Amino acid sequence: GAGVSQSPSNKVTEKGKDVELRCDPISGHTALYWYRQSLGQGLEFLIYFQGNSAPDKSGLPSDRFSAERTGGSVSTLTIQRTQQEDSAVYLCASSYGAGPNTEAFFGQGTRLTVV
Amino acid sequence: AQSVTQLGSHVSVSEGALVLLRCNYSSSVPPYLFWYVQYPNQGLQLLLKYTSAATLVKGINGFEAEFKKSETSFHLTKPSAHMSDAAEYFCAVSPYQAAGNKLTFGGGTRVLVKP
């Protein structure tokens, strides 16, 4: 597709369940980012993938959060044993380059609600 | 650590009036600076970015921003507001020598345009 695609667009899950959120970046983009947007914390960086390098996981809030990127393309963010404070919009972004001034293109996000 | 402060979480302007959204950053070295816009239920879209080439940066949709190092500011302006400018605006920074474009966002300013 032309843009960053995220699925599902909405997800409601029960507290304690695991969830997987998917991101399809723009074709050819080597860098991929996950961010979380919540009422209390605003927009926060979670994790960054660049090519085949080890990901930068410095923004992951706890060990319940993990992400992988297969084949340098699709990425999955997994949240285990979800808690109510995990409710947020999870945004994925990709960029062509790895530099700090490159434009990041964002998907529409996955709205996660933990009940 | 870097931080970004956006003054005013909500701004109301009349159609045709000046739009001014304030952004101040905290960093020992001037970072790369960005303004993103988020329309309802959509991802973030880049309006403009400062990458040290020129202090006055012109972006899409008639927006521009001026980098002022002495004031550590990067305020966003548009001379004449249009109804379609109603959205939330985020200022963001990326460290000058970072690996990857890991953005630190301000809290956002929601713009309401009155007819």
Look at residue B61 and give its three-state secondary structure: helix
Residue B41 has pLDDT above 90, yes or no: no
Largest CA distance in chain A: 39
B-chain CB neighbours of A43 within 8 Å are 90, 92, 103, 105, 108
Query: Closest by alpha carbon to A87, among A60, A108, A115, A106?
Result: A115
The more confident residue out of B96 and B60 is B60
C-alpha–C-alpha distance, residues A85 and A64, integer Å: 12
Which region among A15-24, A31-40, B48-57, B73-82 has the lowest average model confidence (pLDDT)? Answer: B48-57
C-alpha–C-alpha distance, residues A69 and A50, integer Å: 10
Of B32, B99, B104, the CB nearest to A101: B32
Region B21-47: what's the mean pLDDT? 90
Q: What is the pLDDT of residues B102-111, one digit of tens each?
A: 899 999 999 9
C-alpha–C-alpha distance, residues A79 and B36, integer Å: 27
| DSSP secondary structure of A16-85 | T--EEEEEEPPTT--EEEEEEEETTTEEEEEEEEETTSPPB-TT--STTEEEEESTTS-EEEEE-S--GG
The predicted pLDDT at position B1 comes to 72
Distance from CA of A67 to the nearest CA of B (A): 16
Per-residue b/e over A13-35, b at no fewer than 16 CB within 10 Å?
beeeeebebebbbbeebbbbbbb
The predicted pLDDT at position B31 comes to 85
Distance from the first to the final alpha carbon of chain B: 41
Region B24-49: what's the mean pLDDT? 90
DSSP secondary structure letter of residue B55: S
What are the residues facing B3 on neighbouring strands?
B26
What are the residues facing B81 on neighbouring strands?
none
Taking the C-alpha atoms of B38, B43, B49 and B51 in order, what is their torsion angle to the nearest 10 degrees?
Answer: 150
Q: Look at A50 and B99 and tell me if their CB atoms are within 8 Å.
A: yes
The predicted pLDDT at position A82 comes to 98
The predicted pLDDT at position B56 comes to 94
Which region among A87-96, B40-49, B98-107 has the lowest average model confidence (pLDDT)? Answer: B98-107
Q: Look at A93 and B99 and tell me if their CB atoms are within 8 Å.
A: no
The predicted pLDDT at position A1 comes to 54
Amino acid B55 reads T
The predicted pLDDT at position B62 comes to 96
The predicted pLDDT at position B48 comes to 95
Distance from CA of B13 to the nearest CA of A (A): 23
Confidence band (pLDDT; 50, 70, 90) for B33?
Answer: very high
Residue A15 has pLDDT above 90, yes or no: yes
Region B51-70: what's the mean pLDDT? 91
The more confident residue out of A67 and B40 is A67
